[in-house]
Amino acid sequence: MNKYGLNVLIIDEIVNCLKNNNYSIDDNVRSRIETMIESIQDDNQINKLDYVIDWFNKKREESDMIVEEIGVKDLEKWNIQKESGNISHESKGFFEIIGVKVSNTFDREVGKKGWTQPMIAKNPGGILGILMKKINGVPHYLLQAKAEPGNIGKLQLSPTLQATTSNLLKAHGGKRPLFAKYFDESNNPKIIYAKWQSEDGGRFHLKSNYNMIVEIEENKELDIPDYFIWITLYQIKQLLKIENFVGPHVRGIISYL
């Protein structure tokens, strides 16, 4: 018997035990039990954990992205508005840097006097999505080694799709993000999770992203670039033990599981 078959037997035993003790069992409870089993053993059918770690570290070493700090006035296609001092992109997309004044803050450490600060605003949000595919019956999640200018180590393990509305509409003049079509709800009946979730209110003003987990058919073949990799939930949780390895969006999405 393979591990998948053994897992099914274990899950059935747990379900039967709960039923015998008068617990109410529905699809959601069974799904939670499946996720628990999924989280406690390395059943990756393609890549073992050591390989995933070596693969990611190699991607970091190979990254030739250079990030230099420059003055705001030296930014290309970003403008400082004369009256407000806000910073925005000439396309009117992406985001804007605004200032806010916070008052009546009795429940904060500064007391009632409040404070002022810059914030990232006017960002309509985007999609943070992970593709899931069962390989030999075992759920695998497609993540990418994604370079961002503010990342420690340049790359972090990121969702399959990490795109703002401006990215999806190609406001940057580039290509539409890979795998974006699979996160179109009208075309995909197998959506495991899809909810708007708010971002850090200390830096972002009224910002949320649409978090998604979408399952594709097991026989679906994808053209996957070498900076993407299939890993299991167990492996993701093990990689969380490594500092600055797994990006915040992956952590947020899998919190549902």
The domains of the chain are located at: 1-41, 46-66+124-254, 72-121
**How confident is the model at residue 107, as a pLDDT?**
85
Give residue 169's pLDDT band: very low, low, confident or very high (50, 70, 90). Answer: low
**How confident is the model at residue 14, as a pLDDT?**
79
Tens digits of per-residue pLDDT, 41-76?
888 999 999 999 999 999 999 999 999 999 999 999
Counting beta carbons within 10 angstroms of the beta carbon of residue 197, is it exposed (0 to 12), middle (13 to 18) or buried (19 or more)?
middle
CATH topology of domain 46-66+124-254: Nucleoside Triphosphate Pyrophosphohydrolase (3.90.79)
CA distance 214 to 160: 10
Which residues are CB-neighbours of 167 under 8 A, at least 6 positions away?
Answer: 126, 176, 177
Token pair, residue 211, equals: 């978090």
CA distance 17 to 1: 22
Give residue 171's pLDDT band: very low, low, confident or very high (50, 70, 90). Answer: low
Q: Which of 26-35, 90-99, 174-183, 217-226 has the lowest mean pLDDT?
A: 26-35
**How confident is the model at residue 2, as a pLDDT?**
58
Check: pTM over 0.95? Answer yes or no: no
